[in-house]
Structure 1
Amino acid sequence: MLNRRQLLKCCSAGFGYLAFAGLAQSERARAQEAANAKPDNPLAPKAAHFPASAKRVIFLCMSGGPSHVDSFDYKPQLAKDHGRRGRYGGSLMKSPWEFRQRGDSGLWISDLFPKVAEHADEMTLIRSMHCDQPLHPGAMTQMHTGTVQFIRPSLGAWTLYGLGTENSSLPGFVSLSAPAGAAQNMGSAFLPAVYGGTKVGRGGGVGQFMPASNQESVDDIKNGRLSSRQQRKQLDLIQFLNREKLEREQYQPAVEGMIESYELAFRMQDTMPKVMDLSDESKATLAMYGADGGPTDAFGKQCLLARRFAEAGVRFIEVTHGGWDQHRNLTEDHKARAVACDQPIAGLLADLKQRNLLDDTLVIWGGEFGRTPAAQGSDGRDHNNKGYTTWMAGGGVKGGFSYGATDEYGYEAVEDKCHIHDWHATILHLMGLDHEKLTYRYAGRDFRLTDVYGNVIKEIVA
C-alpha cells in the first residue's frame, strides 16, 4: 500500500513521462515532415516507392448504393428463381434489365449502362467487394477513409501526401459536388491540412451541380474587390502573424497547413477559373459528355471538368453522383440515375483514351455498397454490404477482366473476396505507393490508410 509521499512521487513522475512522450512525438513529427517535404512546397511532386502505373485518380463515387445485380454482376439463377423466398426473407427479384456479353472480352454488363458497356475491354470488374457497414454514413466513410469508428485521412489525402501534385497553383485533391456533410470523407484528419480535398461546385445530389463555366462560380474564386497587389499585401500581413505564432509555439500542424492553404488559395485565383471555363470546349466534346443539355448535362459537366483537372496536373479528382438508394421504385429511379451518368462516364473514358491519358489515369467507379437480390416491397432492394461490384479502368489494370464473385444470387462475396482495405491497397499500389510504407506518425504510432490490413489484388494489375 502506498503512503501519501509515495503516491505524490509516482504521480509527479507519471506526468513527467507524459510530457516527455509528447515532446518526443513532436520532435519525431518535425523530423518526418522535414524529411518528406520539399523546401518550399509540401505539395511538390515526391518520388513514388516504385514505378507507378497511374499518375492520377478519377473516382466516380455513386452515392446511395447502386445495385450490382442490376448492373455489373450477372446472376442467371436469380432470374430463374424470381419470386421464390429469399435466404433472409422477402422474394427474390430478377433484374428488370437484360445482361449481355460486351466487347471482345465478353464481360456481362446489363442494359442499365449501355454506353459504359461499350468500354468493357478497358474495364476490370471487381465483383467480390465487401465492407463492414450496411448503413450509408459508415459505409461511405469506410470507402473513403478505411474506417468507420475514427476520423482518419481520406484516400485522396493519403495519395496527395504520398506523391504531391504536379501543379502548385491548383489543389492536388479536388472533390466535385461533394454532398453536404462530406468533410470527413475528403478531409486530411491528422495529416497536414494542405493535403485535404477542395470542394468545387454545389450539391452532390441528383442534378444539383452548378456548371463551373457559369460566371457566378468564377466570381466565387476571384476577389473582385481587391487587386492582386492589394491581396498580396493583405496576405503577407496575415502570414507574418501566422509565422510568428509558429515560432512561438513551435510544432503546430494546423498553423502550418493554414499558411500553405492561404498561399495556394492566392495562386488558385488565376489558374482555377481557366481550368473551370468550359467555353473553349468544342460542341462535339460537349456532346460526347452529354454536357449540352438534358438529363446528362450536370454530371456531364462534372466528368468534363474531371478530365480538365487531370490534364492540369491534379492528382486526385472525385466526382459524386447521388440518389442511388432505391428501397422502392427501383426500376424507374435506377434507370433515371443511370441515364444521367451513363453517357458522361462513357464520354470521359473515350476522351481520356483519345488524349492518351487513360493509360496513366486510374478511373474508379463504385458506391458504398450494393443491394440485396431479394425485393423490398414490390420494386425495391435493401442495402447489401456483404457482396457488390466496383470497377476500374486505365491506370495499369487489366482490360476486359472480371475478378472475384458473389454467390449464385448475389448475396455475398464468396470467391477472391475483396475488402475495402484490399481495394485501397491496390489503388495505392497502382499509384506506385506501398500501403504498408505510406505512414504518418500520430499519437505515438505510425498510421496508414489500411490500418494493419489489406492485400494488393495483383491479379487485376496488367
Structure 2
Amino acid sequence: MPHHHDEEFRLNSPEFKQLNIKLDRRRFLTKTSLGLGALAMGSLFGAEKIFSSSPKAVPESAADFEQEILKALPHIAPKAKKVIYLFMSGGPSQFETFDYKPKLVDLAGQNLPDSVRKGQRLTGMSANQSALPMVPSIYKFNQFGKSGTWVSELMPHTAKVVDELCIIKSIHSEAINHDPAITFFQTGNQLPGRPSIGSWVSYGLGSDNQNLPTFIVLVSKNGAKDQPLYARLWGNGFLPSKHQGVQFRAGKDPVLFLNNPEGYDGSDRKEMLDYLSKLNKLQNEAYGDPEVDARIAQYEMAYRMQTSVPEVMDTKDEPDEVFQLYGPDSRDSGTYAANCILARKLVEKDVKFVQLYHQGWDNHGGLPKGIAHQCKNTDQPTAALIMDLKRRGLLDDTLVIWGGEFGRTVYSQGKLTADDYGRDHHPRCFTIWMAGAGVKPGISFGETDDFSYNIVKNPVHVHDFQATLMHLMGVDHERLTYKFQGRRFRLTDVHGSIVKDILS
C-alpha cells in the first residue's frame, strides 16, 4: 500500500472528518452545559466573580491544585537524587544475616516462652503446631569494619562494606502474609490499588533524563519463584499512567512493544506517532481526560527509548574488572549480578528510581541450604554495587536500600534437626539496611530482644521508613498528596515519622 506524506490529504480524509464531526458535537454539548452552569453560578455568587478576567477570580480546579503541590517540590534540599532499592522478596531471616543472637544456643529446642510471644498472631502455617521450638542459626557471626558490626559468615562480601551501611534492626509491620506485606512496603497500604513508592517519586520529582523512564524495574531470573511478583507492585495506582514503573527484561526485547513492528522503519514509526498524537489531542479536547496527555507522553517516551534503551542495556563494553567485581553471574543477562550492573548504569544516566526484585527468600523449610544459596547469588553483587557506586562518586547522591517484606521467627516451623530447620513469617521485628546519600554510615539502629521477637529500642515502622526515604529525596511526605475519589492520598497515609537519628 503506498505511503501518503501529504498531511492535508490525511486531515481531509472522510474518516478524519467524521471523527471531527463527532468531537464537535460533544464539544458543543460540553461547552453549552458548562456555560449554563456558569450562568447559574453567576446568579448565585455575582457574575463579576465568575467571569472576571483576573485569574485569581476563577475557582481553582483539582488539576490546578495538583500543579501547585508539584511547584513546591522539592520541599527541602535533597540529599538523595536517585534510589536503588534491592528488594529481597520472600522475607530474609534476620537470624542468618545481621541480627546476631548468641544466647539462643543455650535455648535450642526449648519452647518459645509465652512471656515473649505475648499472644501475638501466628500464621496459619504454624498456629497449629503443638510446640514452637527455638532454633539458633547454624552459621557463625563475626565483627567487621571499624564499626565492629556483626555479620553472618554467609555474607563475606557485604561484611567488607559494612562501614558504608546503616543497618536498621527494628523495622516492623502489621502484615504477616506475603501479598499484603510486600504491597504495604511498596505502596503504603496492604490492599492493592495505591501508587508504588517509585510512582510517587516520579509524580513528585519528575525526570532528570527525558530519554529514559523515571522509574525502572528489574527482576532477577535466578531467584527461586517461591512467591509471585505482581506488576501492580510497581504500578501507578490512581496517579497518571506515565508514572508507573517500566520493567526492563533480559534478552533482545528489554521493553515489550518498544521495537518497531515488522515492515516499519524509523521514519514510518515517527510519522505514525505524529498522527496518533493529533488524534489523541482531538480526543483530549473532546473529553478533557488528563490520561490522554499521559498516553501521548508515553508514546513520545517510547520513541526516544528506541535509541536510549539498547545503549544502557548493553554491558559488553564494561571492562573485565567490573565483571570480576560483581561475580561470575554478572555476564549472564537477567541475573541478580547483571541487574546490579544495570542499576549502576541507570543511575549514571540519572534515572531517579531503580527497583530490583530478587525472589527466593521464603524459607519455611530447609532454611540453612536455601538461604546459603540466596546469599551466594546476591552477596558479592550487592557489595560490588556499593563499592562501584562509591568509587565513581555516585554513592554521594544515590541511596541504596536492601531488605524484604518481613523477617522470620525464632522458632522452627515443621521439621527441626541439628542442621535443618525452617522459619515462619515474623513482621514484629526484622532487618533492612540503607547506604549512601544522607544516611549515617557504619551504624546499627534499633535493638531486638534475645529472641529477635520484640523490639526493645528505637522501633521503625514501615511508614517511618517510607517517610524517611521521601525526606532524603527532598519530599515532605505529608505534603505530597493526590486527590482521588474525593480524598487526598499520600504514600504514608496518615502515619509516618522521619527517623532523624539515622540521617547524616
- Give the TM-score category using the shorter length: 0.7 to 0.9
Secondary structure of 2:494 counterpart? coil
- 1:228 and 2:266 correspond: yes
Equivalent AA in structure 1 for residue 200 of structure 2: W
Decide whether aligned partners of structure 1 residues 433 and 325 sit closer, same or farther in structure 2, where only a CA change above 3 A counts.
same
Shift of 1:453: 0.5
Deviation per residue, 1:142-184 (Å, 9 max, x gap): 0000101351111111111111111001000001027865222
Please name the residue that 2:24 is paired with: none
Task: List alignment gaps of at least 5 residues for structure 2.
Answer: 1-36, 42-58, 118-130
Please name the residue that 1:388 is paired with: 430
2:233 pairs with one of 185, 210, 224: 185
- 1:82 and 2:108 correspond: yes
Please name the residue that 2:85 is paired with: 59
Deviation per residue, 1:29-59 (Å, 9 max, x gap): 2213444679xxxxxxx84111111110000
Please name the residue that 1:244 is paired with: 282
Alpha-carbon distance in structure 2 between the residues aligned to 1:347 and 1:454: 32
Do the aligned partners of 2:333 and 2:339 also contact (CA within 8 Å) in 1?
Answer: no
Equivalent AA in structure 2 for residue 270 of structure 1: T
Deviation per residue, 1:314-356 (Å, 9 max, x gap): 0000111101001100000100011000011011011001001
Shift of 1:412: 2.4
Secondary structure of 1:402 counterpart? strand
Counterparts of 1:9-24 in structure 2 under 5 Å?
none
- 1:103 and 2:140 correspond: no
Secondary structure of 2:211 counterpart? coil
- 1:49 and 2:87 correspond: no
Alpha-carbon distance in structure 2 between the residues aligned to 1:347 and 1:231: 40
Counterparts of 1:39-438 in structure 2 under 5 Å?
47-87=73-113, 89-177=131-219, 181-201=229-249, 210=250, 214-217=251-254, 221-223=258-260, 225=262, 226-250=264-288, 252-292=289-329, 298-377=335-414, 378=416, 379-438=421-480
Larger Rg: 2
Decide whether aligned partners of structure 1 residues 219 and 135 sit closer, same or farther in structure 2, where only a CA change above 3 A counts.
closer
Alpha-carbon distance in structure 2 between the residues aligned to 1:123 and 1:293: 23
Task: List alignment gaps of at least 5 residues for structure 1.
Answer: 1-15, 21-25, 39-45, 202-209
Do the aligned partners of 1:296 and 1:340 also contact (CA within 8 Å) in 2?
Answer: no
Alpha-carbon distance in structure 1 between the residues aligned to 2:334 and 2:256: 22
Shift of 1:108: 1.1
Do the aligned partners of 1:300 and 1:341 also contact (CA within 8 Å) in 2?
Answer: yes
Equivalent AA in structure 2 for residue 242 of structure 1: N
Alpha-carbon distance in structure 1 between the residues aligned to 2:334 and 2:298: 32
Shift of 1:200: 1.1
Please name the residue that 1:43 is paired with: none
Decide whether aligned partners of structure 1 residues 338 and 277 sit closer, same or farther in structure 2, where only a CA change above 3 A counts.
same
The percent identity for this pair of structures is 42
Shift of 1:196: 0.9
**Further displaced range: 329-338 or 175-184:** 175-184
Shift of 1:27: 6.0
Please name the residue that 1:5 is paired with: none
**Further displaced range: 262-271 or 146-155:** 146-155
Please name the residue that 1:207 is paired with: none
Do the aligned partners of 1:328 and 1:376 also contact (CA within 8 Å) in 2?
Answer: yes
Alpha-carbon distance in structure 2 between the residues aligned to 1:349 and 1:145: 26
Do the aligned partners of 2:429 and 2:448 also contact (CA within 8 Å) in 1?
Answer: yes
Shift of 1:80: 2.6
Report the number of matched residues.
420
Alpha-carbon distance in structure 1 between the residues aligned to 2:234 and 2:498: 23
Do the aligned partners of 1:388 and 1:412 also contact (CA within 8 Å) in 2?
Answer: no
Alpha-carbon distance in structure 2 between the residues aligned to 1:320 and 1:150: 18
Alpha-carbon distance in structure 2 between the residues aligned to 1:455 and 1:253: 33
Alpha-carbon distance in structure 2 between the residues aligned to 1:414 and 1:107: 19
Alpha-carbon distance in structure 2 between the residues aligned to 1:405 and 1:78: 16
Shift of 1:232: 1.0
Equivalent AA in structure 1 for residue 202 of structure 2: L
Deviation per residue, 1:224-280 (Å, 9 max, x gap): 632221111111122212111111111x23222211111111111000110010011
Secondary structure of 1:69 counterpart? coil
Do the aligned partners of 2:66 and 2:482 also contact (CA within 8 Å) in 1?
Answer: no
Do the aligned partners of 2:73 and 2:475 also contact (CA within 8 Å) in 1?
Answer: no
Equivalent AA in structure 1 for residue 260 of structure 2: N
Secondary structure of 2:95 counterpart? helix
Decide whether aligned partners of structure 1 residues 189 and 382 sit closer, same or farther in structure 2, where only a CA change above 3 A counts.
same
Decide whether aligned partners of structure 1 residues 142 and 341 sit closer, same or farther in structure 2, where only a CA change above 3 A counts.
same
Alpha-carbon distance in structure 1 between the residues aligned to 2:413 and 2:349: 45
Shift of 1:78: 1.8
User: Alignment RMSD, CA only?
Assistant: 2.2
1:30 pairs with one of 63, 80, 84: 63
Alpha-carbon distance in structure 2 between the residues aligned to 1:295 and 1:312: 22
Decide whether aligned partners of structure 1 residues 420 and 219 sit closer, same or farther in structure 2, where only a CA change above 3 A counts.
closer
